[in-house]
Copies of this chain bind each other. A is one copy, B any other.
């Protein structure tokens, strides 16, 4: 399941649901609102594009890394410090595949999926700059 949503998610349940025939390793990435002098984080997505982009990344990762399952929840809206922003659950036969798949997916999301974050700071608000000056790949 791949969703962009405001609600939080039960990661334990996602892991249980990810297990299937042949699964020997699951790697979970959980991105969390870090307390860098911020009060809250506000997330915005171009959902009609972000969702198919996520799906494209997932099908590429599945093929390249031989993954058995991928589930992604990317949250939007206002999130407090410590809340989950992004949860990626990757299942594979072996750990090498699961780690590589997980890393491939998070890097692809950071590089190219149209989602933005604004830090609601004690000293004012600040849009988080993209990791790549050109934010390339959004329309791959």
B35/A82 in contact, CB under 8 A: no
> Judging by beta carbons under 8 Å apart, are B32 and A26 in contact?
yes
Number of interface residues, chain A, beta carbon within 8 A = 29
In the complex, the count of this chain's copies comes to 2
A23 to B93, CA, bound (A): 29
User: Across the interface, do A95 and B31 meet the contact criterion of CB distance under 8 Å?
Assistant: yes
A13-B12, A29-B95 given as contacts; is B106 within 8 A of A23 (CB)? no
Task: Please give the residue numbers on chain A whose beta carbons come within 8 Å of chain B beta carbons, in ascending order.
Answer: 10-13, 15, 19, 21-35, 82, 93, 95, 98-99, 102-103, 106
Chain B residues within an 8 Å CB radius of A15: 11-12, 28, 30
* Subset of 30 A-B contacts with CB under 8 Å: A11-B11, A11-B15, A11-B28, A12-B12, A12-B13, A15-B28, A19-B32, A19-B82, A21-B35, A22-B34, A22-B35, A23-B32, A23-B82, A24-B31, A24-B32, A24-B33, A24-B34, A26-B28, A26-B30, A26-B32, A27-B27, A27-B28, A27-B102, A29-B95, A29-B98, A29-B99, A34-B93, A95-B106, A99-B102, A99-B103
